[in-house]
Structure 1
Amino acid sequence: MMSNSTPLTVSYFILGAYLNVGYLRYLCFMITAMLYIVIVVANTSLIVVICVNRSLHEPMYLFLCSLFVNELYGSSGLFPFLLVQILSDIHTVSAPLCFLQIVCIYSYASIQFSILAVMSYDRYLAICNPLQYNTRMTSHKALTLIILLWVYSSVKLLIPLSLSIRLTLCGNIINSLYCNNHLIVKLACSDTQVNNIYGLFNTALSIFVPLFPILFSYMKILRVCFSGSKQTRQKAVSTCTPHLVSLLNFSFGCSFEVLQSRFDMSGVPRALRIILSLYFTIMQPLMNPVMYGLQMSRLRNICKHVLCSKVLSARPDN
């Protein structure tokens, strides 16, 4: 274990949030592995269904496909790492791998919130401007938006990451289950004012830029619901419910992780802190495929058709 008082050349970090649970580690490993398998199978299945069915090559489903791809990306940046750490006796991670994981998890969170923001605008156009929807939101425009938000969310992480890599550290113990940029900044011996300022600025970009289209869209949708017909309200509820649930669920998980990394949360039980620190990377990829698959009748019916076709084709001829 390294000192916390003198500058160090840090080649690895120690993850201090892992508990010594003895043989229960194998149970934890199996539960984590099962969750990862379910996430991979569920998200991959819906991605394949959307990609191979030309009838689903519409903006709403393209956004959903991008959402599922991002959930696979974020899960793959965390779960294999967790599985290795659960079975390890020494919870260490090399510095390059640690910073790579920071890129994966932070870009996943930023991309997820941006996709949810674009999806809210898409729902606004479909509900409030149905006659103009096909001209204002085409598949080409949807793909352009998806590419732009992936590039934007990834590029804006380069500055805080480069600032963190250059820091002179006085320790290498991170009190987390995975690498966290702000916790690494807290280990610095050198001045971190620029890191803190840009960290807050980057957090504001990640939250408030997507928040504007979300608030704008739902204010307009609510206005149409209150003044429109019963059929309009039913359409709005059926199409917006999964999106709203996903948005609130993800916002809760991210908010707790931001608060935990920046403020003292010692008053919260340690086991609960550990569970909540993983919430936004586990529950979102786990819930979204089920929620959208069940709620959206068109996607649900095509999934049933594909599944039934495979079952029938697998039966031996009588």
Structure 2
Amino acid sequence: MENKTHFYFIMFENLGHIRYALFTLGFVLYCAIIILNVLIILSICLERTLHQPMYILISCLSINSVYGTAGFFPRLLSDLLSDTHTIFNEACLIQGFVIFTYTTNEFATLMLMAFDRFVAISKPLQYHNIITLRVITFLIFIHWIFPMLCLGITVLLTSRMTMCGNKLWKVYCHNYELVKLSCTNSLLSNVYGLFVLIISAVIPLCLILYSYVKILIICQKSSSQFRSKAYQTCIPHIVILLNFSIGIISEIILSRLVNLEIPIWLSVFFSLEFLVVPPILNPLVYALNFTDIRKKIICLIKKIKCYT
């Protein structure tokens, strides 16, 4: 990247004293995200009866939320209190990598959840033979590592570009925003970026939709009791999926449609929705809808109170 050693976040300009209110809100949200997701992770890890594929996948969502927000919130909070809003090239590339591997990991986990529910509902008698802990661990490993390797190549391609500007219209580093700042031919990066988008988001989303449509068809042909039980386990996953998908689609649209005229605060909200809402919504949805998780969390909280 020629003589551009850093990037500058434009969105932090002219915040005035409101930045302290935003810092407080961000700090509270980050603490809530960490506490809620750590409780989910601990409740599943410490309770042997929860060592089942569905619960393992729920814990993966929480682990991914902690990972993704760690790449975003500390830097955001620092920038809100700082008078200089610059980030070095290497740090920017790392942040972009963390945020977008968080995104691909989320889609991969949601896809495995849909597959898990599809097998449980379509083949209930063979479920425990098909979806074992070994199988689900292998699938998680493959579906997390492969997109991360692909995104690593994306970051490598971006790092080799010559930059003609250093002003980012975001509050975090976004690989596509860096590509737009390049003054060299970015055709290769754009084509490869489209390929990564298809394999890491479009294909998983299509498989997720296919699984839930098949589940819906099976439920319509089944008894009301079976249908009720199936809906009870699927609806939380669908709520999480819809929320995350809407956030990602909003972010993609905002990144591509540079001439879209909307208020800055609304642009920032839509660009942050997939980073802020899912990490705090996921543990709440699963804690409220799964009795076993809720009971273990209450037990953990009681033990913590006893020690304090």
Tell me, yes or no, whether TM beats 0.5: yes
**Which amino acid counterpart does residue 217 of structure 1 have in structure 2?**
S
**Does the aligned pair in 1 maintain the 2:147–2:196 contact within 8 Å?**
no
1:49 aligned residue: 43
**Does the aligned pair in 2 maintain the 1:118–1:213 contact within 8 Å?**
no
Write the distance in 1 (CA, Å) between the matches of 2:260 and 2:208: 33
1:170 aligned residue: 164
Write the distance in 1 (CA, Å) between the matches of 2:195 and 2:147: 14
1:128 aligned residue: 122
1:275 aligned residue: 269
1:213 counterpart (207, 224, 238): 207
Distance 1:187 1:235, change over 3 A: same
Superposition pairs for residues 183-222 of structure 1, below 5 Å?
183-222=177-216
Structure 1 residue 209 displacement after superposition = 2.2
Write the distance in 1 (CA, Å) between the matches of 2:35 and 2:234: 25
The Cα RMSD (Å) is 1.5
1:243 counterpart (232, 237, 258): 237
Range with greater deviation from structure 2 (264-273 or 300-309) = 300-309
Structure 1: gaps of 5 or more residues: 1-6
Identity of aligned residues (%): 37
Structure 1 residue 309 displacement after superposition = 4.7
Write the distance in 1 (CA, Å) between the matches of 2:213 and 2:91: 43
1:40 aligns with 2:31: no
Taking structure 2 as the reference length, the TM-score comes to 0.96
2:20 aligned residue: 26
Write the distance in 1 (CA, Å) between the matches of 2:211 and 2:172: 35
**Does the aligned pair in 1 maintain the 2:62–2:283 contact within 8 Å?**
yes
Q: Mark the structure with the bigger radius of gyration.
A: 1
1:86 aligned residue: 80
Taking structure 1 as the reference length, the TM-score comes to 0.93
Give secondary structure in 1 for the equivalent of 2:55.
Answer: helix
In terms of fraction of residues, the more helix-rich structure is 2
Structure 1 residue 222 displacement after superposition = 0.7
**Does the aligned pair in 1 maintain the 2:121–2:230 contact within 8 Å?**
yes
**Which amino acid counterpart does residue 104 of structure 2 have in structure 1?**
S
Write the distance in 2 (CA, Å) between the matches of 1:8 and 1:55: 56
Write the distance in 2 (CA, Å) between the matches of 1:232 and 1:45: 31
Distance 1:217 1:20, change over 3 A: same
Distance 1:262 1:176, change over 3 A: same
Range with greater deviation from structure 2 (243-252 or 209-218) = 209-218
**Which amino acid counterpart does residue 240 of structure 1 have in structure 2?**
C
1:262 aligned residue: 256
Write the distance in 1 (CA, Å) between the matches of 2:180 and 2:231: 44
Give secondary structure in 1 for the equivalent of 2:12.
Answer: coil
Superposition pairs for residues 302-313 of structure 1, below 5 Å?
302-311=296-305, 313=306
Write the distance in 2 (CA, Å) between the matches of 1:274 and 1:265: 15
Structure 2: gaps of 5 or more residues: none
1:292 aligns with 2:292: no
**Does the aligned pair in 2 maintain the 1:8–1:171 contact within 8 Å?**
no
Q: Deviations over 1:134-175 (max 9, x none)?
A: 000011111111111121121110221111111111111111
Write the distance in 1 (CA, Å) between the matches of 2:122 and 2:293: 22
